[in-house]
Amino acid sequence: MTGTETRNLALAVALFVAAAWLPFLGGAYLLTLGVTIAMYTVLATSWALFSGPTHYISLATAAFFGLGTYTTGLGIEHLDYWLLLPIAAILGAVLAALVGLATLRLSGVYFVIFTLGLAELIRQLVTWSQNVSGQKGLYVLTDLTEVHIYWQLLGLAAIVYLGGWLIGRSRLGFALRIIGDDEEVARHSGINTARAKILLFMVSGAAASVTGAILAPRYIYIEPALAFTPMLSFQVVIMALLGGTGRLWGPVVGVIPFTFLWEAISASFPNQTTLLLGVSFLVIVYLLPKGFVGLLVAIRQRLDAREGFA
């Protein structure tokens, strides 16, 4: 491990420890924002673990998130809450593996369309099953408070970050970077591209599913339209792209400002949120194609070039 890597890891640990003190420093509103930021940090970072190196744009986050939410909703009366979290992770990984086996041979817009339709398909199936049973939604009643949920999400964010750091330094991470550069070259180099992509997609799916499972008690009452909302998938993509997927910490750089921006938009223009979400996506794609991280790298390169000529 180089000196720079050690400093970055130490800084990440320090930031997570500092973030853990938020419930003791702010009021209820600040804690609510903290839960939202922690949630999107997990979702955007886990999304970038897969989509960053492979350049596959996945819109399946809502499917995994909703699966986890309903895992808690359906199981809370029968199993201990802490058993439901690993079950949600397993179910998310299994769903990701099945989707990966069926779709990761696709590329470009075909993969995007399939992953977008997946959440809608599951939402319709859950809605149909509840209509048949006469049940419209589920109550999730626990003793967990907002503080408990925040700390769980923060711990999950730390696990995802550490997992991404380890993957980036493993043979799997190296293989995925080659796949992202040129999948044909990777295939001819002897890399099992399908297996590599599926493994990382499983990590992403498991993280999103556990996030949904943790947040189910916060909602108290869950229904398909809430658990499987497609807007969640688009928000995660926008936040990750805004920060940049070139660095592990990049998505966090996008999550924090976009969360505050979205709070202001939702309060001021509640009926135009979908329209403004689309505009935000277009602005980021055209003005910041590599996110804030890419912008910072470009600025640093220009400064280094000027110093070289000086």
Cross-strand pairs, 139: 221
CA-to-CA distance for 63 and 110, rounded, in angstroms? 17
Using DSSP's 3-state secondary structure scheme, residue 17 falls into helix
CA-to-CA distance for 289 and 50, rounded, in angstroms? 18
Q: Which amino acid is at 53?
A: P
**Span 144-163, mean pLDDT?**
94
What does the pLDDT read at residue 308? Answer: 61
What is the band of 2 on the pLDDT scale with cuts at 50, 70, 90? Answer: low
- Which of 112, 98, 200, 211 lies closest to 153 in space, CA to CA? 211
CA-to-CA distance for 167 and 299, rounded, in angstroms? 28
Q: Which amino acid is at 115?
A: T
What does the pLDDT read at residue 127? Answer: 87
What percent of the chain stands above pLDDT 70?
94
Q: Strand locations in the chain, DSSP E?
A: 138-139, 221-222
Cα maximum dimension of the chain: 75
Query: Given the structure tokens 């890419």, which residue do they identify?
Result: 294
Cross-strand pairs, 222: 138
- Which of 134, 167, 166, 158 lies closest to 53 in space, CA to CA? 167
- pTM listed for this prediction: 0.91
- 248 in Cβ contact with 168 (< 8 Å): yes
Query: Given the structure tokens 């990761």, which residue do they identify?
Result: 104
What does the pLDDT read at residue 165? Answer: 87
Torsion of CA 77, 78, 84, 90, to 10 degrees: -130
pLDDT at 263 over 90: no
Q: Look up residue 22 and give its two tokens.
A: 């938020």
CB atoms within 10 A of CB 150: 24
Q: Which residue has the higher pLDDT, 199 or 305?
A: 199
CA-to-CA distance for 51 and 201, rounded, in angstroms? 9
CA-to-CA distance for 214 and 106, rounded, in angstroms? 32
What does the pLDDT read at residue 107? Answer: 64
What is the band of 221 on the pLDDT scale with cuts at 50, 70, 90? Answer: very high
Gyration radius of the chain over CA positions: 20
